Structure 1
Amino acid sequence: MGLRIALIASARFPVREPFAGGLEAHTWALARALTSRGHHVGLFAAPGSDPTLHLHELPVGTVTLSSAARADISMPHPVWMAEHHAYLQLMLDLARDGNQQFDIVHNNSLHYLPVAMAAAVPLPVVTTLHTPPTPWLESAIQTQDPCPVTFAAVSTHTAHAWQASVPAARVVRNGVDTRLWSQGPGGNDLVWSGRIVPEKGPHLAVEAARKAGFALRLAGPVGDERYFTEYVKPLLGDGIDYVGHLNQHRLAQLVGSAAAVLVTPCWDEPYGLVVAEALACGTPVCGFDRGALREILTSACGRLAPADDVAALADLLPETVQLDRGAARKRAEEFCSLESMAGSYSALYEELLG
């Protein structure tokens, strides 16, 4: 018999294609995978999310503040206030009668309130740690000793980063749908995909591709217009193309037709969903050795250069494109499949429910 799962998503962006980022793509895939395993998933997400999911829209934007409150010097940014109100209302609703609708709560958002208010909810609460430690979340964890939340980290690297405040986080790595992200034929060009923001470093991917003599296609949502205009757009042309914000099907085709995928984080990547997507398409990866990337890649399917070393990254590209595409696909199937992730979360839910 399936479980009734309340899956809490980010309120910032809708959970629908084309996805704003890896968190939304992960939440969408997890909801579908859990449903396919026979669970009933109620997804609490931003308005405009995929209606094919069992969607409960978070009440983002319903707070009405007086002119006096808005003029107060402590007034935060309106977006922050709207998210705070939405999660506050959700957690109060779950505290009131959540056990009549659900068996377990899985918090897949980055907000602090589902953790801070977990003790008021008459259900086990699981929270996935998708990022390095944040002050808001660490504060929420410390409000109760012990914290009643069970934590899962998306990588060993992320679990270690949280060790000071969450010493016993489980590791449940993000998975990708290996049916959707199917093995492609490869090609001659490189691909970079992700949110176009400074911390993802697409301008460094362009530099490395040019140094190594490869054409490069960039894909993803522009998350920072100023960065795109000043640092990425001037680099376009002469074999460097921005192909836009693609849905998963078109992105999988693009990645599958690449000789290699470049991954150029300028921060310690907590997981690296684009790496798993590339491997599932049979496309080897060449990236910076930051965060959790070395947990996913092996010498059979990728190469890692020292962080921020564009010249070293470029030097590794000729051997990266010669790696066996079948080995890359096999790594995805064995290490980062959606089925494995959903199975691990299902086992965790069952454990917590006894």
Structure 2
Amino acid sequence: MKLLFVSTPVGPLGSGLGGGVELSLYNIAKEVMRRGHDLQIVAPAGSTWDDLPIMQISGSLQIIAQSLERETPIAMPSNPVLANMWDYVRQVESEYDLIVNFAYDWLPFYLTPFLKIPVAHFVSMASLSDALDLIIVQTSKQFPGTIGFYTSAQAATFPELTFPIYYLSSGIDLSLYQFCGKPKQQFAWLGRISPEKGLEDALAVAKSTNIPLKVMGKIQDESYWQKIQQVYSNAPFEYLGFLSTKEMQQVVRQCQALIMTPRWVEAFGNVAIEALACGVPVISYSRGGPASIIKHGETGFLVEPDSVTGLIEATKRLDRINRQTCRDTAQKVFSLEALGERFEKWFVDILNFQV
């Protein structure tokens, strides 16, 4: 197949501004190329992935959907990179078999009926916008089978979708993550630093247990970050920045657990499978994607959403988790090979249906 991937317009690839969808796009791209498919990626200028074929498009970045209200009207800045990327797609579409959209934005769905070749939409977030809900549902009805989600929990947040619906999960290059059987007394928290990620709850766990917390990720909301640092100034935590996969896993693998504190419905949670790949159990709120990744009592613990007490209690039971089981689960379910099989089948199904 000749595939054209269109990235998120909220930030250049490699910047961390796109959150988990960046890692998903990277791994899917590497695997489809390994399988012999031709690939071109369209992404905002400034993308740093030199090992992938990227057409860099300039323009103003899109505002992230998480920062907007459900009723906020659809809007784009002047000279929008989102529109510029899709204008490029329209110019070159005849050279490809399938367009794959990774942007959680209204425009790609709206443009789908006007394009000459099929578009696969990989929806990277749960429902956040009434306008997006409507056009995603409309697209699923007009073009059945072209909508893919990470998990059923994510898809359930959208009303009246038309089947078939594809649940594609995620996957990682397991060779990049080293197993650690004997961790240090420390926890990890990994993700974009913004209110919906609930970092303050992990800081509360560190304060209560007096166990150091290693914080890693892109600061997306500076005022939020400053506020929670002040509130938890006496908690034992260290901010390590936005790290490369190699640097990040060197820290995570030495931790007793990864703590996940989503205040919203996470579509998936790539950080969870990255931790499992290192043999690190995951303690998370039982909300959205993490609930489909973590096997309660086997690879971590799922606790009542927004219960800091539940998180703290779970930290006391970590000795019941076999860290090798965590690694084995990652190898079985979340390998690049398994990821590639799921996406390749989806792409083939779309092309066969169109014929």
Match of 1:316 among 290, 295, 314: 314
Q: 1:166 to 1:229 in 2, by over 3 A?
A: farther
CA distance in 2, matches of 1:75, 1:189: 43
CA distance in 2, matches of 1:119, 1:76: 20
Question: Counterpart of 2:154?
Answer: 158
Match of 1:297 among 284, 294, 311: 294
CA distance in 2, matches of 1:104, 1:240: 46
Match of 1:232 among 229, 232, 239: 229
Question: Counterpart of 2:106?
Answer: 112
Report 1:1-354 matches (<5 A).
Answer: 3-16=1-14, 20-49=18-47, 50-61=49-60, 78=77, 82-94=80-92, 98-99=93-94, 101-133=95-127, 134-141=129-136, 146-148=141-143, 150-185=146-181, 186-236=183-233, 239-298=236-295, 299-354=297-352
Question: Counterpart of 2:70?
Answer: none
8 A contact 2:206–2:212 mirrored in 1? yes
CA distance in 2, matches of 1:92, 1:126: 15
Gap runs ≥5 in structure 2: 62-72
CA distance in 2, matches of 1:308, 1:144: 34
CA distance in 2, matches of 1:288, 1:144: 31
CA distance in 1, matches of 2:17, 2:251: 16
Normalised by the length of structure 2, the TM-score is: 0.87
8 A contact 2:188–2:259 mirrored in 1? yes
8 A contact 2:43–2:57 mirrored in 1? yes
8 A contact 1:200–1:267 mirrored in 2? yes
Q: 1:92 to 1:139 in 2, by over 3 A?
A: farther
CA distance in 2, matches of 1:262, 1:9: 28
Amino acid paired to 2:345? A
Q: How far apart are 1:55 and its partner, in Å?
A: 0.8
Gap runs ≥5 in structure 1: 63-73
8 A contact 1:87–1:114 mirrored in 2? no
CA distance in 1, matches of 2:116, 2:74: 32
Amino acid paired to 1:283? V
8 A contact 2:137–2:160 mirrored in 1? no
Q: How far apart are 1:203 and its partner, in Å?
A: 0.9
CA distance in 2, matches of 1:233, 1:321: 32
Please identify, of 247-256 and 178-187, the stretch whose mean Cα deviation from structure 2 is larger.
178-187
Q: 1:183 to 1:348 in 2, by over 3 A?
A: same
Q: SS of the counterpart of 2:176? A: coil
CA distance in 1, matches of 2:74, 2:142: 29
Kindly provide the CA deviation profile for residues 174-223 of structure 1, in whole angstroms up to 9, marking residues without a partner as x.
11221112323422211111111111111100111222332111111111
Please identify, of 85-94 and 106-115, the stretch whose mean Cα deviation from structure 2 is larger.
85-94
Paired residues, what number?
Answer: 336
Q: 1:165 to 1:58 in 2, by over 3 A?
A: farther
CA distance in 2, matches of 1:217, 1:127: 35
Q: How far apart are 1:90 and its partner, in Å?
A: 3.2
Q: SS of the counterpart of 1:250? A: helix
Percent identity between the two aligned chains: 23
CA distance in 2, matches of 1:18, 1:320: 30
Kindly provide the CA deviation profile for residues 275-299 of structure 1, in whole angstroms up to 9, marking residues without a partner as x.
1111111100111111121211112
Q: 1:7 to 1:233 in 2, by over 3 A?
A: farther
8 A contact 1:42–1:55 mirrored in 2? yes
8 A contact 2:9–2:82 mirrored in 1? no
8 A contact 2:42–2:85 mirrored in 1? no
CA distance in 1, matches of 2:211, 2:74: 50
Please identify, of 166-175 and 13-22, the stretch whose mean Cα deviation from structure 2 is larger.
13-22
Kindly provide the CA deviation profile for residues 237-283 of structure 1, in whole angstroms up to 9, marking residues without a partner as x.
55311111111110011111111111111112111111111111110
